[in-house]
Chains A and B, each alone.
Chain A
Amino acid sequence: MQPRNMVPGSGQVRVGLVTDAGGNIEDGTYTQYAYAGMRRAAEEFGLETTYIETDRLEDIEGNLLMLVEGGYGLIIAVGRHLGEVVERVSKDYPATNFATVDFAPYPILPNVMGLLFAEDQAGFLAGALAGYMTQSNVLGVVAGDQVPPVIKFRKGFANGAKYVNPQVKVLGEYIESFTDPQKGRVVAQSFIEQGADVVFGAGGETGSGGIRGSAEQGVWAVGVDQDEWVTTFENGRAPGADRLLSSAVKRVDNAVYEAVRQAVEGKFVGQTALFDASNEGIGLAPHHAAESAIPEEVKGRITELFAGLRSGTITTGVGPAGEDIAETLWDQIRAWQWTELAVLVLAVFTAVLIGAVIIWATRASELRGAGEAWGQVIPQANGLVLDAYVGLFEGAVGSPKALVTSLIYATPYILAGLAVALGFHCGLFNIGAEGQLYMGALLATIVGFSVTGLPVYLHLPLAIVAGILGGAIWGAIPGLLKATTGAHEVINTIMMNYIALKTVDYLVKNPLKDPTASLDRTPFVAESARYPLILPQYGLHAGFLLALVAIAFVWWFLFKTTWGFEIRTVGASPSVARYAGMSVPRNFVLAMGLSGALAGLAGIGIVLGRPSEYALKAAFSRGFGFDSIAVALLAKSHPFGIFPAAFLWGALRNGAGLMQVRAQGISIDLVNIIQALVIMFIAADQIIRWLYRLRARREAAVVFTRGWGG
C-alpha cells in the first residue's frame, strides 16, 4: 500500500506514521489519537506528514522501510507488532528516528523512543467511577486481544471498581481482534443479560462496538484510549451518547506530539518514556451528557483517587506488564497449592526409600558374593538398612546436642539456599554459591585476624561487611558478564568456583599461612571477630540468628520492595520487564550481587562462628554450591520454605556421621545420592505425581534457563 494523504509542510523533518495490521486512522480510539498527535505537532511546526495503514502483519516491515527509504526523519510506529520490527531494523537505519507506541525496545536504541502508558491507572479510575455508579453491582469489560495494554486496562478497571465497591462483580472477556465491533456488541449483550449495568470497552473498534451496543440499550458505557464521545458517539450525535459516563484516556496524542516535538527541536534521544498519572499521560475524559447523572461526591472521590495515583499513595495492584501483584504473605499462602507440598514430601520420602534399596542391595550382593544363603542374606540386609536409618535419625535429631548440631549444619544451607533462591527469582541459576562462600570467608578471615584492638561491636561487623562484599563482588561478576555479553551464568559461576578455590588454596598455603601451624591454615581470627555463642555447650553461634534474619530480609526484599518486584518481573519474563521499561542487565547484576552476598554470609558464619574453625583452611567446605541448589528447589525458592529445606539438609549431613558408624560399609555418599534423587523428583515432579496418583500441575513448569544465549 502506498503512503496516503501526504500533507506538505515547510519544516525539515518529515514525519510518517504506520498503523498496526488492520489499523485505521479513523478507528475512533487508539490509532486515531496517535495520528491526531502527529498532526497537531505537524501543524504547529509546519511539517510534512504521511501515514500508511497496514493490512497484514507481514506487511509491517515493508511499510516501515518504505517510509525509511522515502527519507522520513521520524517514523511513528503504532502498536506492539511494529515495535518489535522497529527494534530489529532500526540499527540498520541510524539516520532515521522512530517512536514506538506501546513498546519500549530493550536495550535502549539510540534512535528509538519507546512510549509507554500506565493503562492500569486509567482503567482504575474508570473502574472506580463504574463501581460508584453501578446499581446491580455487576460490571462488564469487553476487552481486545490479550496484550499488556489491554490486560492493564481490564485488570486496572476491575481493581478500581473493587477498591471503591467491594461487592462488585466484574465480568470480562478477551476478544482476539481490535476490529470486530459486531463481536463486541454480542459480548456486551451477554454481560447485560448477566446483569451488568456498566460496560467498559477496552479493545479498539471491538470495544467501541460493545459500548455503543450497551449505550443504545440505556446501559452505562465507559470508553477507552481517547474521548469516545467525540469519536464513537460522533460528538453526541450517535444514539446512546448520553449514556457514556466517561472514557479511560491514554494520551497517545500527547506522547506522539512529544516525540515529534523533540525530533523537530533536535533533542530526540533513544529512551523509554512512561506516561502515567504523574505527568497526565492518563486520565478520565469529560462526562459530557452524563455530567448531571454523576453525583458531585463521586466526582470528588475520583479526583482524590487521581491524586492518590499521582502521588503513589494508591496503587492499582497491576504490574507493568499486566501481572497481578500479590503483596501480602496471606495472599501468597492462599495462592499455595497444597498438592505441591505433598509432592515435596513424597519426593524426599521416595529418595529415602531408594536409598534404602541401595543399602539393601549393597549388603545383599556382598553376602551373596561370599556364598551366603538367601535365608541369611535377607535379615542381615534388612538389619543394615534399619541400622543405617536409625543411625541417621538419631545422629540428626536424636538428642538435644544432635538437634542443635543439625541447626549449626543448617545455618550455611539457609544462607546459601537463600542465595540460590534469590537468583531463581530473577531467572538466574547461581551454581557459584561455593565460590562466593569461599570469597566471603576469605575476606572476613583476613579482616578477622589482621585487624586487632577493636571492640567486638566494631570488629565483627567490619569482618562481616568485608565478607559480604567479597561474596557480592564474586557473584556480581557473572551477573555483569551476563548483562553485558550474554554469557551464561551457569558456566561462569562454575568457573569462578574453581578460581575462588584455587585463590584460597594459594593464599592459605603461601602468604596468609600461619607459620606456627602445621596444617595449611590462616592465623586464628581475633576473639573480637568471632560470632558470640548462644548455646556455648553445643556450639550454636549467633550466625544462626543472622540466618533467620536473612530469611525475613529476603522475603521483605523480594515481595515488599520495588527492587524485589523488578527482580521478580525480570525473572518471570525478561521481555515483559523490558516492555515495562525495567533494566534487565541492572537486575541481573543486582540479583547476582545480592545472591553472592548471601552466599558470602554463609561462608563467614562457618569461619567466624564455629569454634572448630576460627581460621580459614584450604578446603573448608565442599559441595555447598550444589547442596544449596537442592535446598532452594526443595523450598520452591520461597524464603520461608528455605528453613525447613535447609534443616532437612543439615540434619541429613549431621546424621550421616552416625549412620556411617552404625552401618559398616555404607558411606556418607549415600546422602549425596538421596540429595540428587530429591532434586530429580522435584524437577521431574511428573514422576512423583504418576507414582502416587496426584493431580497434575495446573500451570506449566517453571523454566529457569533458556539456552546459552541468556
Chain B
Amino acid sequence: MTVTTATPTVSVTRFWTRSRGFGVFYVVVALIVLVGALTRTEPGTISKLGLGIIGKPPPVRMTLPTQPSLVVIGVLLGLAGLYSLLRSPEERRANTLLIASFGLIVVAALIAAAANQSIDLVGMIKDSVRLATPITLGMLAGIMCERCAVINIAIEGMMLAAAAVGYMASLYAQNMWIGLLVAILTGGLMAALHAVLSIRFMVDQIISGTVINILAVGASGYIRTAFLLKGQRGAPGVFPYVFVKTPLWDIPILGTILFQYQPMVYAAIILVPLVWFVLYRTPWGLRTRAVGEHPRAADTLGINVFRTRYVNVILAGCIAGLGGAWHSLETVGYFEDLMTNGRGFIALAAMIFGNWNPIGGTMGALLFGFADALNFKFQILEVGVPYQFIGMLPYILTMMAVAGVIGKTIAPAADGQPYRKQ
C-alpha cells in the first residue's frame, strides 16, 4: 500500500529564527548606511549636533566628521548583522542587540541629517514629542477599544471627522475651546456608530471601521466645501502654549523638552498613565479586560458585556477626537482634506508595537514621532537621502512590529468577535 504525502515534510529546527531575520535587517541597513556615506557625503563634511535653546548658542555641541562616523556606524551594524545571522543568539542577547542597533540607526540618521549643518537635538526631541501626540492619542483610543475586544481600524476616520467638525465649530462659534469640545463629541459620535454597527448589528468590525473611515473622508470633504471655504470669518487661531510667559518656559533644555507645548500634548501626557491606571488598577479596567479576554465568562460573573463595550468604544472615540483637534486646532488652525495623513493607522501600529499596553504603545508612538520629525528635518535640510524614504520608515517599522519581529505581540483573546448573549 502506498501513502500519498499531501504536503512535504518539515525539519524539526527552523533555520530562520527571529535573530537571523534581524541579522538580515541589520546587514541591509548597514549596507545602506555605508553606501550612503561613501557616495553621498564629501570626505571633509562635518556634522554638528547641539543641545540648545532656540536663538541662543547651544551650550553643548558635538562636532563629528560625517563620513568616518557613518562608516563606523555602518561597520558596527554590519557586525551586529553578521553576528545575528551566523550565531543566532538567544532571546536576551538578541534584544540587547536590537536596542543597540536601533540606537545606532537613530544616531546615523541624525549624523546624516546634520551633514554640513547643525541639528539641535533638543529641538528634535521636542518635535518628536509633538508629532508623537496624535499617534499617542490614537493609540490610546485603539487600546480602549481592543481591550474590550472591539477592533478599531477607524481611528483615522474618527480623528479626521473630529478635526473637520471641531474646526467648523470653532470657526462658527469663534471659540477654539468650543471647537475642542465639539471635536471630542464628534470622535465619540463616530465611535458610537462603530459601536452600534459592531456590537448591536454584529457587522464585521473591520468592515465597520472601513465604513467610518470612508464616511469621514466624504463627510469632512463635503463639510470643507460646503461650510469652511465660504466662511468670511477668520479662524480663531490655534491653541495657546500652556506655559508661555511662565518661568518654566525659560529653563534651559528641560524647559524646551517639557514645557514648550500646546494643550493636546499635555492631554496625551496625562491620558497615558490615566488609561493605564484605569485599565490595570480599577474595577472598571478589570471588567474591560475580562470582556476582552473572555466575554462569556465575564457575562457569567454579572458583567454587562454590551455596556462595557459601548462605554469603552465611545470613550475611545472621544480620545481620538482629541487627536483630531491636534491636527486642525492645535497645529495649523485650519482644516484640509485628508489632513490626518494616515496617523490613525500608525497609531494602530503603535498599539500593536506596544503589545496593547499604554506604556509600550507610547514608546512606539515616540519612535514614530521621531521618524516623522526626522522626515521633516530631511525635507528642510535637503539631505542626500530622499525624504520619501524617511517617510516610509514608520510604515516599514509598523510591518515589522505587526509581523512580531519586534517581540511577540498578543492581542486580547476575544478581539474582533461580536458577542451574542445565550
Q: Which A positions have Cβ atoms within 8 angstroms of B? A: 94, 104, 107-108, 110, 254, 258, 269-275, 278-281, 358, 362, 366, 429, 431, 481, 485-488, 490-492, 494-496, 498-499, 502-503, 505-506, 510, 581, 583, 623, 626, 629-630, 633, 665-667, 669-677, 679-680, 683-684, 686-687, 701-709
- Cβ–Cβ contact B10 & A280, under 8 A: no
* Bound-complex Cα distance A248 to B1 (A): 19
- Cβ–Cβ contact B206 & A705, under 8 A: yes
Since A481-B402, A495-B399 are in contact, a sample of 16 more A-B pairs with Cβ atoms closer than 8 Å, ordered by chain A residue number, is A271-B9, A274-B4, A362-B226, A481-B399, A485-B404, A490-B153, A502-B395, A506-B386, A506-B388, A667-B224, A673-B215, A684-B201, A684-B208, A703-B204, A704-B204, A705-B151
- A477's nearest neighbour on chain B, judged by CB, is B399
- Cβ–Cβ contact B201 & A502, under 8 A: no
Known: A506-B388, A672-B221. A686 touches B201 (CB 8 A): yes
- B1's nearest neighbour on chain A, judged by CB, is A254
- B348 to chain A: which residues have CB within 8 Å? 491
| Interface presence of B98 (CB below 8 A) | no
Instruction: Give me 6 A-to-B residue pairs in the complex whose CB atoms sit less than 8 angstroms apart, sorted by A's number.
Output: A279-B1, A431-B210, A492-B403, A495-B349, A683-B203, A683-B208
- Cβ–Cβ contact B197 & A684, under 8 A: yes
| Interface presence of B31 (CB below 8 A) | no
Known: A495-B399, A669-B225, A672-B214. A683 touches B7 (CB 8 A): no
* Bound-complex Cα distance A670 to B218 (A): 6
B381 nearest CB across to chain A (Å): 17
- Cβ–Cβ contact B395 & A273, under 8 A: no
| Interface presence of B415 (CB below 8 A) | yes
- B213 to chain A: which residues have CB within 8 Å? 626
- Cβ–Cβ contact B2 & A279, under 8 A: yes
Q: Would you call the interface of chain B mostly helix, strand, loop, or mixed? A: helix
- B206 to chain A: which residues have CB within 8 Å? 429, 490, 704-705
Cβ contact of B6, chosen from A271, A510, A680, cutoff 8 A:
A271
- Cβ–Cβ contact B395 & A665, under 8 A: no
What are the 3 closest A-B residue pairs judged by CB atoms, nearest first? A672-B218, A669-B221, A667-B225
- B1 to chain A: which residues have CB within 8 Å? 254, 258, 279-281
* Bound-complex Cα distance A496 to B414 (A): 27
* Bound-complex Cα distance A383 to B222 (A): 19
- A674 to chain B: which residues have CB within 8 Å? 218
| Interface presence of B246 (CB below 8 A) | no
Cβ contact of A273, chosen from B5, B10, B221, cutoff 8 A:
B5
| Interface presence of B167 (CB below 8 A) | no
- Cβ–Cβ contact A704 & B398, under 8 A: no
- A684's nearest neighbour on chain B, judged by CB, is B201
Q: Interface readout for B64-100 with A: 1 if CB under 8 Å, 0 if not? A: 0000000000000000000000000000000000000
- Cβ–Cβ contact B211 & A680, under 8 A: yes
* Bound-complex Cα distance A675 to B217 (A): 11
- Cβ–Cβ contact A487 & B404, under 8 A: yes
Known: A491-B345, A506-B389. A704 touches B207 (CB 8 A): yes
- B5's nearest neighbour on chain A, judged by CB, is A271
* Bound-complex Cα distance A32 to B204 (A): 45
| Interface presence of B202 (CB below 8 A) | yes
* Bound-complex Cα distance A490 to B398 (A): 12
Count A/B pairs, Cβ under 8 Å.
201
Q: Interface readout for B367-401 with A: 1 if CB under 8 Å, 0 if not? A: 00000000000000000001011011001101100
A573 nearest CB across to chain B (Å): 15
- B301 to chain A: which residues have CB within 8 Å? none
| Interface presence of B205 (CB below 8 A) | yes
- Cβ–Cβ contact A485 & B225, under 8 A: no
* Bound-complex Cα distance A296 to B294 (A): 61
- Cβ–Cβ contact B395 & A633, under 8 A: no
- Cβ–Cβ contact B10 & A499, under 8 A: no
- Cβ–Cβ contact B151 & A707, under 8 A: yes
- B402 to chain A: which residues have CB within 8 Å? 481, 487-488, 491-492, 495, 708
- B214 to chain A: which residues have CB within 8 Å? 626, 630, 672, 675-676, 679
* Bound-complex Cα distance A204 to B214 (A): 54
- Cβ–Cβ contact B7 & A676, under 8 A: no
- Cβ–Cβ contact B403 & A481, under 8 A: yes
- B392 to chain A: which residues have CB within 8 Å? 498-499, 502-503
* Bound-complex Cα distance A366 to B227 (A): 9
- Cβ–Cβ contact B5 & A272, under 8 A: yes
- A499 to chain B: which residues have CB within 8 Å? 392, 395-396
A494 nearest CB across to chain B (Å): 5
- A665 to chain B: which residues have CB within 8 Å? 225-226, 230
B409 nearest CB across to chain A (Å): 8
A465 nearest CB across to chain B (Å): 27
* Bound-complex Cα distance A503 to B389 (A): 8
* Bound-complex Cα distance A481 to B402 (A): 9
* Bound-complex Cα distance A583 to B9 (A): 12
| Interface presence of B411 (CB below 8 A) | yes
Within 8 A of A (CB), among B120-154: 151, 153
- A670 to chain B: which residues have CB within 8 Å? 218, 222
A642 nearest CB across to chain B (Å): 18
- A506 to chain B: which residues have CB within 8 Å? 386, 388-389
* Bound-complex Cα distance A104 to B7 (A): 11
* Bound-complex Cα distance A670 to B219 (A): 7
- Cβ–Cβ contact A683 & B211, under 8 A: yes
| Interface presence of B12 (CB below 8 A) | yes
| Interface presence of B45 (CB below 8 A) | no
- B60 to chain A: which residues have CB within 8 Å? none
* Bound-complex Cα distance A709 to B389 (A): 29
- Cβ–Cβ contact A709 & B204, under 8 A: no
- Cβ–Cβ contact A258 & B3, under 8 A: yes
Known: A672-B218, A708-B151, A708-B415. A502 touches B391 (CB 8 A): yes
Candidate in B224, B391, B392, B402 with the most chain A CB atoms within 10 angstroms: B402
- Cβ–Cβ contact A633 & B207, under 8 A: yes
- Cβ–Cβ contact B10 & A270, under 8 A: yes
Q: Interface readout for B1-40 with A: 1 if CB under 8 Å, 0 if not? A: 1111111011110000000000000000000000000000
| Interface presence of B333 (CB below 8 A) | no
| Interface presence of B352 (CB below 8 A) | yes
* Bound-complex Cα distance A630 to B197 (A): 17
- B212 to chain A: which residues have CB within 8 Å? 676
* Bound-complex Cα distance A195 to B254 (A): 91
- Cβ–Cβ contact A581 & B7, under 8 A: yes
- B354 to chain A: which residues have CB within 8 Å? none
| Interface presence of B118 (CB below 8 A) | no
* Bound-complex Cα distance A626 to B4 (A): 44
- Cβ–Cβ contact B226 & A679, under 8 A: no
- Cβ–Cβ contact A108 & B204, under 8 A: no
* Bound-complex Cα distance A258 to B1 (A): 8
- B391 to chain A: which residues have CB within 8 Å? 502
- Cβ–Cβ contact B7 & A495, under 8 A: no
Known: A258-B3, A669-B221. A705 touches B388 (CB 8 A): no
A510 nearest CB across to chain B (Å): 7
Cβ contact of B416, chosen from A94, A677, A679, A708, cutoff 8 A:
A708
A591 nearest CB across to chain B (Å): 17
- Cβ–Cβ contact B349 & A491, under 8 A: yes
- A254 to chain B: which residues have CB within 8 Å? 1
* Bound-complex Cα distance A510 to B385 (A): 12
- A687 to chain B: which residues have CB within 8 Å? 201
- A633's nearest neighbour on chain B, judged by CB, is B207
- B214's nearest neighbour on chain A, judged by CB, is A676
* Bound-complex Cα distance A362 to B168 (A): 14
Known: A495-B399, A708-B352. A680 touches B197 (CB 8 A): yes
* Bound-complex Cα distance A494 to B2 (A): 47
* Bound-complex Cα distance A312 to B139 (A): 54
Candidate in A94, A104, A676 with the most chain B CB atoms within 10 angstroms: A676
A393 nearest CB across to chain B (Å): 20
B242 nearest CB across to chain A (Å): 32
- Cβ–Cβ contact B4 & A110, under 8 A: no
Known: A110-B12, A495-B395. A706 touches B417 (CB 8 A): yes
- Cβ–Cβ contact B12 & A272, under 8 A: no
- B16's nearest neighbour on chain A, judged by CB, is A484
* Bound-complex Cα distance A702 to B214 (A): 21
